[in-house]
Amino acid sequence: MSGLELVDITKRFGTVTAVDDITLTVADGTFVCLLGPSGCGKTTLLRMIAGLEDPTSGDIRLQGERLNDTPAHRRNLGMVFQSLALFPHLNVGENIAYPLRIRGGSPASCEARVRELLDMVQLPGVEQRAITQLSGGQRQRVAIARALAVSPQLFLLDEPLSALDAKLRETMQMELRQLQQRLGITTIVVTHDQREAMTMSDQIVVMSKGRVEQMATPIEAYRKPASPFVADFLGQANLIRVKRADNGASFDGGFIPGLEVPAGAESLVSVRPEDVIVTSSGNGPVQADVVFVREMGANIEIYLDAGQERIVALAAPKSHGDFQVGARVSLTLPPDACVVFGAEGAH
């Protein structure tokens, strides 16, 4: 089996189970994000892959070879931490050359490689600069260049972009993704930012309480979330409790025609705000009151009360005049845009 395999990995710190029996495979050359709220175990999982933490149980394999007993410095990986951990007393060139020097690279070969790496991260000619003379984004690029200096088999990054402002973060997300695609290097990034994960990844691993809730492509996880947690964590979701009814599903506040849900107990249904159709008139299956309107520029967010349910919808900005606070409107929740979690999903 090729790629990186984690098999039944558990990590306990005393009574805390940080990672709880995780099994997953990262295919060669792919970009995978470990995504989840603070404390869900993503950093611990990354640190075990890096060899900075030993699993309590389970196996880590790379290209079929067990990695558990290989020390971190022999795992042939590049790492970038949130803090970047650049050496402030060394200039840019010396920082990037550091891992090459400790492996015995000659001054001339190190110099050539540093030049190549700086070109790669689009920072040519800054070898002599002090780290303190660089902007946040430039430091980020230097840290990436240093991590890739020894052409690692695995590239691991822990919240690498979280210290950057929003605009620069988006630019760096795209740069990082393009670089990864160019090099074809297997890359695992820890983030709690769902937008970041959606932008960069081939696969997202959504984690909660030490476990994997879902591993899927970004669009699959977004359109077909495996649990209410994933639906809610990836973007916005309306989670509505429904019961089976004749020809559809009903909830306190309306009806979803054509939606099949299990008989008996309540089910939880997720529907994305952009899929909710709001019309200012008509006798649709759901009547709702506009309670708040938020201008988002490209669209407007409309907060609606339908019986006991609060529903959020997105609409085009030109429709703002039709959806003033206090207006009574009609909603349609298209059944093919609804994801049903069944009774066990509805806690």
Q: Which residues bind ligand ATP (CB under 6 A)?
A: 13, 16, 18, 36, 38-44, 192
Of the pair 81, 98, the CB lying nearest ligand ATP is at 81
Q: Which residues pair with 287 in a beta bridge?
A: 330
Of the pair 38, 283, the CB lying nearest ligand ATP is at 38
Of the pair 93, 210, the CB lying nearest ligand ATP is at 210
Of the pair 35, 278, the CB lying nearest ligand ATP is at 35
Report the SS3 class of residue 238.
Answer: strand
Of the pair 36, 273, the CB lying nearest ligand ATP is at 36
The distance of closest approach from Cβ of residue 71 to ligand ATP in the complex, given in angstroms and rounded to an integer, is 18
Task: Say how far apart CA 221 and CA 189 lie, in whole Å.
Answer: 17
Task: Say how far apart CA 327 and CA 292 lie, in whole Å.
Answer: 10
Residue 70, token pair as written in the block: 């290989």
**Is residue 204 a contact partner of residue 216, using CB atoms and an 8 Å limit?**
yes
The distance of closest approach from Cβ of residue 77 to ligand ATP in the complex, given in angstroms and rounded to an integer, is 18
Report the SS3 class of residue 89.
Answer: coil
Residue 169, token pair as written in the block: 């973060």
Of the pair 22, 185, the CB lying nearest ligand ATP is at 22
Of the pair 13, 87, the CB lying nearest ligand ATP is at 13
The distance of closest approach from Cβ of residue 156 to ligand ATP in the complex, given in angstroms and rounded to an integer, is 13
Task: Say how far apart CA 180 and CA 127 lie, in whole Å.
Answer: 23
The distance of closest approach from Cβ of residue 215 to ligand ATP in the complex, given in angstroms and rounded to an integer, is 16
**Is residue 63 a contact partner of residue 2, using CB atoms and an 8 Å limit?**
yes
The distance of closest approach from Cβ of residue 40 to ligand ATP in the complex, given in angstroms and rounded to an integer, is 4
The distance of closest approach from Cβ of residue 78 to ligand ATP in the complex, given in angstroms and rounded to an integer, is 19
**Is residue 305 a contact partner of residue 291, using CB atoms and an 8 Å limit?**
yes
Of the pair 111, 193, the CB lying nearest ligand ATP is at 193
Helix or strand run (H / E) with residue 170: helix 166-183
Q: Which residues pair with 311 in a beta bridge?
A: 304
The distance of closest approach from Cβ of residue 20 to ligand ATP in the complex, given in angstroms and rounded to an integer, is 10
φ, ψ at 267 (rounded to 5°):
-115, 160
141's CB contacts (< 8 A; 6+ apart) are: 121, 122, 123, 175
* CA dist 161 → 28, 33, 37, 118, 182 (Å): 23, 13, 16, 19, 20
Q: Which residues pair with 186 in a beta bridge?
A: 154
The distance of closest approach from Cβ of residue 271 to ligand ATP in the complex, given in angstroms and rounded to an integer, is 28
